[in-house]
Structure 1
Amino acid sequence: MYLNNHTYYSLRYGTFSEEDLLQMAVQNGYESLAITDINNTSVTLNFFRLAKKYNIKPIAGIDFRNGAEPMYVGIAHNNSAYLELNNFLSHHLHHRIPFPETAPDISDVSFIFSFETVLKQEKSIFRPNERIGVDLKDLKKISFNHLIRRPELWVLCLSNTFRNKTDFNIHRLLRAVDNNTLLSKLDPLEQASPNEIMLPKQQLLDRVKDFPFLIQNTQDLIDSCETSFSFNAEHQNKKKFTESKAKDIQLLRHLCLENLPKRYPVVTPEIQQRLEKELKTIEEMDFVSFFLVNWDIISYAQRKNYFYVGRGSGANSIVAYLLRITDVDPIELNLYFERFMNVYRTSPPDFDIDFSWRDREDVTNYIFDRYGKNGEVSLIATYSTYRHSAAMRELGKVFGLPKHEIDILSDGKYDPTQLESYAKLVHQYGRLIHDFPNLRSVHASGILISEKPIHYFSATDLPPKGFPTTHFDMIIAEDAGLYKYDILGQRGLGKIKEATEIIKYNQPEKTLPDIHDTKPMFTDEKVNHMIKKGNCIGCFYVESPAMRMLIRKLEVDNYLLLVAASSIIRPGVAQSGMMREYIMRHKYPEKRKDAHPTLYEIMPETYGVMVYQEDVIKVAHQFADLSLGEADVLRRGMSGKFRSRNEMHLVQQKFFNNCLKKGYPEQLVKDVWRQIESFAGYAFAKGHSASYAVESYQSLFLKCYYPLEYMVAVINNGGGYYTRELYFHEARMNGGILHAPCINKSFSQTVIYKKDIYLGFNLLNNIDENSMELIETERNENGEFTSFQDFVNRVPLGIEQMDILIRINAFRFTQIPKRNLLWQVYSLQPKNKKTQATKELFPPPERNFDMPNLTSNPLEDVFDQIELLGFALSDPFSLTAEKVPDGLLAKDLPFNLNKTVSIYGYLVTAKYTKTHKKEVMHFGTFLDRAGHWIDTVHFPMVAKKYPFQGKGIYKLTGKVTEEFGFYTLQIYKMRKLAFMKDQRFV
């Protein structure tokens, strides 16, 4: 009877979840229920999945509204009808078109107009599939309406949006948030009737007993609805790559055998057996097309010369390796295919394929064009939910609280019992809307390629990315058998690709080896020595202070150890305390006896320490006797996505029961479980770590042999962990000569000529793209600029843009002082500013100016650089008001172990963290006067007394400590030195 139900996926309108709705139906005695969120199908699939659990017949529909104005409710009688409903909704969402008053003529869809809407529109003509929906408040009126003579038109269409008065209050608050208005000013037309509450079935029937035709018509409509979706039965992805599955299998085998000798010059029986086993499993599980589609995507990238990295658990597959989806050899790394695909695994296989951030959009376009001609392709949605801070801020504004009170509530540092009345209400209702969905956005990488049109499952939006996007998220997609293809963009690949291009023009005499042939890099002594020293700035995944510390402690000098380090650095291993244990057991073999014999036997490669996701499966299966399926549930539960699901709790209980039955000490079982829990979804699959290590080696190789070209590529691709200043510093440390932007040498991006590096115009604050384009275009077409006036004549820039170029000294080739140029520019600038450059047939003669005596300070360039670039190109240690004395350098720290020393450092970055007591402490990273690293630790008392005060030179006083060969300064005292003052503003 309730044909218009809204969950909280009717964003900023509904007040409960889809499961709450089903529980409500059971409690009130209903056997069927429609899900009709407003202009939204986010939860339809999950509603259908859960309905079986509650023995409720689910009905799919949509409540179509223009803003808050109801138009009609569409009820789908079958899957084809639901598809058409989604087509209709999506068309209007994509094009931002209001819904028409007249419902579309879609067979097998019942469109229900509310009685109020019928009266308002004076509607008297109805198609066979159109109905008049009656609410309880309408019962006294309908007997006097002329349409009562057509009883077949009428159905009960009751709306259900709240459970109680509290829900209604939440609804009003959400409507005020949605309308960006004070609650006191909320338009009544923007909110639902407080009577939209589900009544017990018998009570409802008693209320409408005088209108038996309403009950019968409604029941007939419900009985005619037979929409269904399969869950966990078979996947719904594209099922055929060629015209038949048989030809798909034939093609997959052909591709593998064709590439086998390219990947393995010597094909051993182990390799052959592994290949046959994988091909058999892929065919049995019906994922042949899945592999071929991924192969097709990377084949397109290869044709376009796009760099990519295939990673994730897909790297465990030799078939993926042979198809060049990944560059990780699973035989070399002993990666077992079952982690990626097996009949027991509850989660679908997936490949994460990274492309350069510059190329990803074109690859996505290719996928939509190639596979989505009939709407079979879409991106996946993701939802941001109300967390504490957002809830407090939004509700605080609705209640009209002043900003300082909202800030206090948002920070969460308050005593609820001491709040004023309105603040107390914000706190109360903020807790109630916690975790409500708030905004629908786009998943970072997921793309669906379905056998059926995507609208069979969901309507779609068209966000700013320009690609249709489902209303449901990846969890619901997986439940429905829609397994995503992950197409990601990252800057690391852009750095590698651009570096190879820069090397070709800057060192044309050099022959650059194939950057994709990484195996020789793994054994390159020079590269491995550089890694061991932690000289990894700018290199993918290995440049952060924490990674540099780990590499130094482990003395990483080979590929396999870097693979382990890539996973050990993850929070799951680090927070469990097992990162330190792994380092200990690696460096000191005698410590390996501390491992439990069973765990050491399960994980000999990692000395009995859980490092990879596979280790969790191994431990759960071999240590706790869980089945492979149960072990995979446990692995998935670590991600947090399924922690609340019942199957996760059952597996956890069985883990403990089995271990105790096997006679393991309770404390050991708790310790092992703590390690599993601490992973919390952060651990990498080994194949994933290996994929990261491959990309790391590519960037490390380029940095080792072509450091200047590589650093320019890093800068042009947005840098990395650090600010761009550090990457220029790294270039200088490798022999680069840095130059400020120059009108005749520079381009939009940074460029290198042998060892001379000219900063790009795009690094200048407030320079606009049009100015950069005008300069480049004019210089390319008509040659270098010969004088300042020649530039002004040829490039029509405004005063503000000219001011920036002059102050950064971009016209230094003229040898005219900056102050003189600034004085001239106002005289030379045309009164009527041109909008585009025009070549003069007879250029005006250069004018000579009788210039006043303009004095300047040598430090002016430095201060202009700091203002316009964010940093100076000169040595920061020369800019302090007090002279930095000669003294201790970073290289001297090992000779002062356990001594209290003072050293001067230039702050690079600081990490803020908390102790187990929730006290704030810091880790600092500095450069000494010679440009080498100083690493510091600031415990809570010191962190509070001597806080960081921004970028600059600090005098650091503390005790030199050492762990596993890595030296750190434990700070006791810290003082920032003042910089010289800009004399122009004194």
Structure 2
Amino acid sequence: MRSGAEQAEVFARYPGAVTRAALLGVECAFDLNLVAPDLPPFPVPAGHDEMSFLRELTWAGAATRYGHREDYPKAYAQLDHELDAIEKLGFPGYFLVVWDIVRFCRDANILCQGRGSTANSAVCYALEICHADPVKWGLLFERFLAPERDGPPDIDIDIESDRREEAIQYVYDKHGRFHAAQVANVITYRAPSAIRDAAKALGFSPGQQDAYSKIVNRWAGVKTTSEEAAGEIPAEILELADALEDFPRHLGIHSGGMVISREPVSEVVPVEWVRMPGRSVLQWDKDDCAAVGLVKFDLLGLGMLSALHYMIDLIAEYHGETVDIGKLDLADPAVYDMLCAADAIGVFQVESRAQLATLPRLRPRKFYDLVVEVALIRPGPIQGGSVHPYIARRRGEETWRHKHPFLARSLDRTLGVPLFQEQVMQMAVDVASFTPAEADLLRRAMGAKRSSAKMRKLAKRFFDGAAANGVDRDTAVSVFEQIHAFSGYGFPEAHSMSFALLVYASAHLKYYWPAAFCAGLLRAQPMGFYSPQSLVADARRHGVIVREPDINASLIHATLEPEPESTGGQAIRLGLAAIRNVGDNAADAIVAERQANGPYISIGELTERVRLKKPAIEALATAGAFTSLGPERRQALWAAGAAAATRPEHLPGLVPGLDAPALPGMTRFEVTAADLWATGISPGTHPVEYFRTWLTERGAISAAQLGQAEDGARVWIGGAVTHRQRPATAGGITFFNLEDETGMANVLVSPGLFHRSRRVLLASNALLIRGIAQVTEGTCTLVADQVQPLDLQGLVSKSRDFR
């Protein structure tokens, strides 16, 4: 054991690691003489060192991105500045490693792009790590990399989710298994898991454990739950769960973090193999790795990149057209018209309830409006009171002027409302003559918890600089307070630009290729805000025909089929892998056998040619995959069970008789129920449609009619619950999305109504709600005052609940 003094020194040097290790009951044994591990040398061509090779790559990329030096001197001056800073700080190897990963992805036809402050760098733009030009948009490099930085820059790479593993394995192969590993993530107890495990430890049955965990208000802690659900959960469970909450439960794998070191990683931190083949993981999280200087790279999976790739491939295969999302016309008015109408279900980053409510008010008409839209509906701007002033100014409803003309350069493009961290830095540069590096120091000092001395020094520097520029004291104080207030929640403008490119790309594909758009999203599931059922319902509203899975027509995943009457001349054919109990492997076997030896002529022949388990065969029948072979679904289900029970390997030499007896056919209602059980999607209709007459008789209107209601009218509406949200910024208000055959409706539930109707609101998959319609600025919200459970007889799936 270490002495008390030694343990104190360890704790001082590695507070995060020691704290987590102690919580996990692990004895700390750090080497006090440990030197921060460096990256292994990057292999460069003969005649180069890392820096010269980085310069060569940058100039080659700049020629493509910017043209010749004389064509764009401002860009080349910026590149010179950045390369000098990279060389001075000793980070060329870091940039080369990231460039190499991106190069691998590009060569392997894997979509990827840099995110976060990475897009502030013209070098990263020239190296094709990022795709938004920071010189064109006047972004500050020092937000990304400043001379005072105490570690390598933070370059996050978004990679299409379904192929991220290829990039991870490339890193292992490139740098060696002993020199690379993934970062751990310490999973802590939240209220539902704490209550479940507490009930388990106290001997309650699995059914009781599950029931108690579902009572929990997932947006609040155990203490709040004990107040809201008094008497519903035994007190001893709540007491133990309260002690467990926020305590480490187990180690997971970080969403994208990988470390690479010159020394074997296991000589720095314990490493273990994980269940997934070919992966190893550290036993420390990202904070602990940073404390000892391990260099981390974030290779993050982004589902929308996978979906975009699938969409592009479908368009090329079925329409014969090549779509390059990097060369789209970013000023297409038709695309912006669609977004202004809040027609954005499935569109990256702007599909949430709050974003859909903002789009008609913001009315984006150019690319930078999308940059603002991405950043505006975030906790920071909402808490900072930036949303309503910006929208009012955008709509011409509020007159404004800068506090000082020096603020025009930084705040003109956001109408005087600071939204981005780079703007805060630019304010300090313009008002007080800060260097960009000093401005980044100010930004970081304002966000730090223990920087009072540094803040006093920088504040004096700010006021002295402002005075030297002729800015009066009151104005300088006002600007400094604005910078200080904003610093806690600022959003990197570069990050917003990177995401805005994907917003536009996905919106473009939704408008021009709605069938391919929906099929791509279906294949990339799970991802995004909406369930496959909601995505398909939206596609149908756009004229897309959606067809059930078919044993002789479907591929593994959703694909397109000719349909002259549908939008874009295509219909969607659902894939076999999406059927319950089937999955990718069985679907692949079915399709491969069909493509090799021809279509299937009967259910019995399928079971002879492909080895399938009984649940898979029966699920295929339930999903309607055998309808094209002749039998109605109920007959197909009978035959599927018989085929599974009498296959040759079960009863050698016996030829099965699969003719079903006379059975009644399924009604449309039963077909929809079967579809939802088998795939979670009802391709031909929405479940609520069956109850429209009943709803109308009770005075309920549709979601589409809600948008046409008179402001202030009290109305009823019924539908399936697709989402529940209680944002931390909403003051206890819970937002519900109800969906019917005509669209979606926003419902606002007050804390009081939520408390009174808590069980109904949390447990019901469909609701009948009365409330006051708030119709304004192209948006409509129903402010609920009464709720009732709506029994759709099992025709809806579980909602998606978010914080």
Name the TM tier (shorter chain).
0.7 to 0.9
What amino acid is the match of 1:469?
A: V
Check if 1:473 corresponds to 2:285.
yes
What amino acid is the match of 1:615?
A: Q
1:389 and 1:412 in contact (8 A); partners too: no
Check if 1:781 corresponds to 2:781.
no
Partner of 2:680: 870
Instruction: Say which is worse superposed, 290-299 or 970-979, in terms of deviation.
Output: 970-979
Q: What CA distance in whole angstroms lies between the structure 2 residues aligned with 1:932 and 1:654? A: 56
Flag the 1:394–1:635 CA change in 2: closer, same or farther, 3 A.
Answer: farther
Flag the 1:371–1:855 CA change in 2: closer, same or farther, 3 A.
Answer: closer
1:278 and 1:317 in contact (8 A); partners too: yes
Q: 2:715 aligned to 867, 884, 902, which one? A: 902
Alignment of 1:319-398 (within 5 A): 319-346=123-150, 348-372=152-176, 375-385=178-188
Check if 1:228 corresponds to 2:33.
yes
What amino acid is the match of 2:582?
A: I
Q: 1:446 aligned to 231, 254, 257, which one? A: 257
Q: What CA distance in whole angstroms lies between the structure 1 residues aligned with 2:755 and 2:235? A: 30
The count of corresponding residues between Structure 1 and Structure 2 is 757
Flag the 1:626–1:253 CA change in 2: closer, same or farther, 3 A.
Answer: closer
Partner of 2:93: 289
Q: What CA distance in whole angstroms lies between the structure 2 residues aligned with 1:390 and 1:506? A: 46
Partner of 2:632: 817
1:879 and 1:980 in contact (8 A); partners too: no
Q: 2:103 aligned to 299, 315, 319, which one? A: 299
What amino acid is the match of 1:736?
A: V
Instruction: Say which is worse superposed, 547-556 or 969-978, in terms of deviation.
Output: 969-978
Alpha-carbon offset, residue 299 of structure 1? 1.1
Q: 2:773 aligned to 944, 952, 959, which one? A: 959
1:796 and 1:835 in contact (8 A); partners too: no
User: For each residue in 1:658-690, what CA deviation from the matched residue of structure 2 results, as whole angstroms up to 9, or x when unmatched?
Assistant: 8899844999589637733651xxx43111111
Q: What CA distance in whole angstroms lies between the structure 2 residues aligned with 1:429 and 1:952? A: 30
Alpha-carbon offset, residue 981 of structure 1? 9.1
Partner of 1:316: 120
Q: Secondary structure at the match of 2:134?
A: coil
Gaps of 5+ in 2: 465-471, 563-569, 796-803
Partner of 1:106: none
Flag the 1:568–1:917 CA change in 2: closer, same or farther, 3 A.
Answer: closer
Alpha-carbon offset, residue 933 of structure 1? 4.0
Alignment of 1:579-598 (within 5 A): 579-588=387-396, 590-593=398-401
What amino acid is the match of 1:256?
A: T
Q: 1:488 aligned to 300, 319, 324, which one? A: 300
Q: Secondary structure at the match of 1:488?
A: strand
Alpha-carbon offset, residue 752 of structure 1? 1.6
Partner of 2:502: 695
Q: What CA distance in whole angstroms lies between the structure 2 residues aligned with 1:483 and 1:939? A: 47
Q: What CA distance in whole angstroms lies between the structure 2 residues aligned with 1:487 and 1:501? A: 23
Q: Secondary structure at the match of 2:85?
A: helix
1:301 and 1:363 in contact (8 A); partners too: yes
Q: Secondary structure at the match of 1:379?
A: strand
1:238 and 1:290 in contact (8 A); partners too: no
Q: Secondary structure at the match of 1:496?
A: helix
Check if 1:613 corresponds to 2:421.
yes
1:357 and 1:489 in contact (8 A); partners too: yes
2:142 and 2:440 in contact (8 A); partners too: no
2:142 and 2:436 in contact (8 A); partners too: no
Q: 1:537 aligned to 329, 335, 345, which one? A: 345
2:191 and 2:241 in contact (8 A); partners too: no
Check if 1:720 corresponds to 2:535.
no
Q: Secondary structure at the match of 2:748?
A: strand
Q: What CA distance in whole angstroms lies between the structure 1 residues aligned with 2:124 and 2:295? A: 17
2:102 and 2:129 in contact (8 A); partners too: yes
Alpha-carbon offset, residue 891 of structure 1? 6.1
Q: Provide the aligned C-alpha RMSD in A.
A: 4.5
What amino acid is the match of 2:354?
A: A
Alpha-carbon offset, residue 330 of structure 1? 0.7
Alpha-carbon offset, residue 525 of structure 1? 2.5
Q: Secondary structure at the match of 2:255?
A: strand
Check if 1:561 corresponds to 2:369.
yes
Partner of 2:574: 759
Q: Secondary structure at the match of 1:747?
A: coil
What amino acid is the match of 2:258?
A: I
Alpha-carbon offset, residue 386 of structure 1? 6.0
State the identity %. Answer: 24
TM-score normalized by structure 2?
A: 0.81
Q: 2:745 aligned to 920, 934, 945, which one? A: 934
Alpha-carbon offset, residue 392 of structure 1? 7.5
1:955 and 1:977 in contact (8 A); partners too: no
Partner of 1:499: 311
Partner of 1:459: 270
Gaps of 5+ in 1: 6-20, 26-32, 36-42, 52-59, 61-160, 163-169, 179-191, 197-224
1:522 and 1:559 in contact (8 A); partners too: yes
1:372 and 1:449 in contact (8 A); partners too: no
Partner of 1:206: none
Q: Which has the higher contact order (CA 8 A, sep 6+)?
A: 2
Q: What CA distance in whole angstroms lies between the structure 2 residues aligned with 1:850 and 1:315? A: 63
Q: What CA distance in whole angstroms lies between the structure 2 residues aligned with 1:438 and 1:634? A: 37
TM-score normalized by structure 1?
A: 0.67
Q: What CA distance in whole angstroms lies between the structure 1 residues aligned with 2:642 and 2:262? A: 68
Alpha-carbon offset, residue 554 of structure 1? 0.8
2:342 and 2:357 in contact (8 A); partners too: yes
User: For each residue in 1:560-612, what CA deviation from the matched residue of structure 2 results, as whole angstroms up to 9, or x when unmatched?
Assistant: 11112211122111122212222222222753238677766643322332312
Q: Secondary structure at the match of 1:762?
A: coil
Alpha-carbon offset, residue 248 of structure 1? 2.7
Q: What CA distance in whole angstroms lies between the structure 2 residues aligned with 1:835 and 1:631? A: 75
What amino acid is the match of 2:323?
A: P
Q: Secondary structure at the match of 1:349?
A: coil
1:778 and 1:795 in contact (8 A); partners too: yes
Flag the 1:864–1:471 CA change in 2: closer, same or farther, 3 A.
Answer: closer
Partner of 1:577: 385
Alpha-carbon offset, residue 288 of structure 1? 1.6
User: For each residue in 1:359-407, what CA deviation from the matched residue of structure 2 results, as whole angstroms up to 9, or x when unmatched?
Assistant: 211111111211226x332222333456777678767876779978997
User: For each residue in 1:694-718, what CA deviation from the matched residue of structure 2 results, as whole angstroms up to 9, or x when unmatched?
Assistant: 1222222222221111210100110
Q: Secondary structure at the match of 1:934?
A: strand
Partner of 1:924: 736
Q: What CA distance in whole angstroms lies between the structure 2 residues aligned with 1:659 and 1:318? A: 28
Q: 2:492 aligned to 675, 679, 685, which one? A: 685
Q: Secondary structure at the match of 2:577?
A: helix
Q: What CA distance in whole angstroms lies between the structure 2 residues aligned with 1:653 and 1:397? A: 53
Flag the 1:971–1:598 CA change in 2: closer, same or farther, 3 A.
Answer: farther
What amino acid is the match of 1:936?
A: V
Q: What CA distance in whole angstroms lies between the structure 1 residues aligned with 2:281 and 2:483? A: 39
Alpha-carbon offset, residue 923 of structure 1? 2.0
Q: What CA distance in whole angstroms lies between the structure 2 residues aligned with 1:824 and 1:400? A: 44
Flag the 1:588–1:348 CA change in 2: closer, same or farther, 3 A.
Answer: farther
Flag the 1:891–1:281 CA change in 2: closer, same or farther, 3 A.
Answer: same
Alpha-carbon offset, residue 939 of structure 1? 2.6
Alpha-carbon offset, residue 890 of structure 1? 5.7
Q: What CA distance in whole angstroms lies between the structure 1 residues aligned with 2:696 and 2:238? A: 56
1:774 and 1:795 in contact (8 A); partners too: yes
Q: What CA distance in whole angstroms lies between the structure 1 residues aligned with 2:430 and 2:387? A: 22
User: For each residue in 1:29-61, what CA deviation from the matched residue of structure 2 results, as whole angstroms up to 9, or x when unmatched?
Assistant: xxxx379xxxxxxx96x665689xxxxxxxx9x
1:910 and 1:922 in contact (8 A); partners too: no
